[in-house]
């Protein structure tokens, strides 16, 4: 019985000691592990079999035991012999990543991926390092380069795109609010490079264009937005105004007619509809008549011509009698002038 009691005591002591021992630390956190793949993965060139074997061995030791010094030493040795050996640069970058030296990863791999944009091993660790320091545009650029051939990269693109679009859109809106137009344009160029058709991209594109006075760019963005959000009154009204000014006046008129039918009690829309009808009618005038409206000053004859063409009741009304000055008889628009006087 005593022997049995001692065995029980030893077993309990062992369990107690086991429960207090700290869990072994992972060399690479699980969420990062899949971004570190063998350095030769996706490299489009061949290297010597011995070199490939040494790289693979150092990579496995790095991930299993955290042998960073050994991996870095091998990479340094190989690069001293061949500075263009990209897999050695990737191994060194993976070692730096495990050391959380993410800036070094980005600095060392950026030239590599410019040469080999579909180099999976390089782009994965570059994208992850960029994520770790909040460089989401850089991360997305890396992942998108290999998204068609790598499932993990494709997944990260899907996860990061909405958040990154929103972050950059907010940066643009903040820059515009501060009057920093150049900064807003620069950030917009980044956003348009990889997410040109997102709604938020179109929104800030229109905002930047409006701030710099580029009405055509604003109209293009609003046309795309209107297709996605046809019930957005503000977008529709602004698009209609631009259509009347520089686009398709008939389209602008249709939009204002639709808005006026939806909001019949809105006096501003009613006024906009009157203006839209006038401008639409104006666009139907002969070119020489439209040119008159651009003149800084109108003669009485010019004014009469515009009245004649803008008001159908004048153009098609019954003629009466009137005294006409002789100089009108030689005027090329004498019919218009006579009808207005009558």
- Cα 278 from chain centroid? 37
Helix (H, G, I), strand (E, B), or coil: what is residue 200? helix
What's the pLDDT at 9? Answer: 41
Q: pLDDT grade, residue 249 (50/70/90)?
A: confident
Query: Which long-range contacts does 193-202 make (Cβ < 8 Å, 24+ apart)?
Result: 194/137, 194/140, 194/141, 194/144, 195/161, 195/164, 195/165, 197/224, 198/161, 198/165, 199/225, 199/228, 199/229, 200/165, 200/166, 200/169, 201/165, 201/169, 202/228
Q: pLDDT grade, residue 23 (50/70/90)?
A: very low
Would the pTM of this model clear 0.85, i.e. be above it? no
117, burial (CB in 10 Å: exposed 0-12, middle 13-18, buried 19+): middle
Among 103-117, 207-221, 253-267, 317-331, the range scoring the smallest mean pLDDT is 317-331
The answer for residues whose C-beta is within 8 angstroms of residue 244's C-beta and 6 or more apart is: 252, 253, 275, 276, 279, 280
Q: Per-residue pLDDT averaged across 59-74, rounded?
A: 95
Q: Are 52 and 60 in contact (CB under 8 A)?
A: no
Please write the tens of the pLDDT for every residue from 332-341. 655 666 666 6
Task: Report whether pLDDT(328) > 80.
Answer: no
The answer for residues whose C-beta is within 8 angstroms of residue 180's C-beta and 6 or more apart is: none
Q: pLDDT grade, residue 167 (50/70/90)?
A: very high
Task: Report whether pLDDT(2) > 50.
Answer: no
Q: Are 154 and 147 in contact (CB under 8 A)?
A: yes
Classify residue 213 as left (phi > 0), alpha (psi -120 to 50) or beta. Answer: left
Residue 83 neighbours by CB distance under 10 Å: 10
Tokens (6 digits) for 3: 């022997």
CA distance 155 to 127: 12
Residue 251 neighbours by CB distance under 10 Å: 16
Q: What is the mean pLDDT of the chain?
A: 86
Who wins on pLDDT, 253 or 342? 253
Q: Are 88 and 53 in contact (CB under 8 A)?
A: no
Q: pLDDT grade, residue 289 (50/70/90)?
A: confident
Q: Calculate the alpha carbon distances from 36 to 28, 91, 198 in Å.
A: 9, 9, 31
């Amino acid at each position: 019985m005593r022997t049995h009691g001692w065995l029980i005591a030893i077993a309990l002591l062992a369990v107690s000691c086991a429960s207090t021992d700290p869990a072994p630390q992972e060399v690479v956190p699980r969420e990062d592990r899949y971004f570190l793949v063998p350095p030769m993965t996706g490299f489009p060139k061949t290297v010597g079999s011995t070199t490939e074997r040494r790289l693979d061995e150092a990579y496995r030791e790095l991930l299993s035991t955290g042998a960073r010094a050994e991996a870095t030493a091998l990479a340094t040795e190989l690069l001293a012999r061949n500075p263009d050996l990209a897999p050695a640069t990737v191994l060194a970058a993976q070692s730096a990543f495990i050391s959380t030296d993410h800036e070094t990863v980005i600095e060392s791999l950026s030239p590599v991926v410019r040469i080999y944009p579909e180099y999976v091993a390089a782009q994965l660790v570059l994208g992850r390092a960029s994520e770790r320091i909040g460089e989401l545009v850089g991360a997305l650029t890396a992942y998108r380069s290999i998204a068609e051939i790598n499932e993990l990269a494709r997944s990260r693109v899907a996860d990061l795109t909405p958040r990154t679009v929103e972050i950059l859109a907010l940066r643009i809106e903040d820059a515009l609010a501060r009057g920093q137009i150049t900064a807003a344009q620069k950030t917009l160029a980044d956003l348009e490079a990889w997410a040109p058709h997102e709604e938020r991209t179109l929104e800030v594109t229109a905002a930047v264009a409006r701030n710099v006075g580029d009405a055509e760019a604003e109209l293009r963005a609003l046309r795309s937005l209107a297709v996605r959000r046809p019930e957005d009154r503000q977008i529709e009204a602004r698009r209609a105004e631009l259509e009347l000014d520089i686009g398709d006046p008939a389209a602008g008129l249709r939009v204002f007619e639709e808005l006026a039918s939806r909001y019949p009690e809105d006096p501003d829309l009613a006024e906009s509809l009157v203006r839209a009808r006038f401008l639409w009618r104006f666009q139907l005038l002969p070119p020489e008549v439209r040119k008159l409206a651009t003149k800084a000053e109108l003669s009485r004859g010019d004014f009469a011509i515009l009245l004649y063409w803008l008001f159908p009741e004048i153009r098609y009304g019954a003629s009466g009698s009137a005294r006409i000055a002789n100089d009108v008889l030689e005027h090329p628009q004498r019919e218009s002038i006579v009808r207005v006087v009558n």
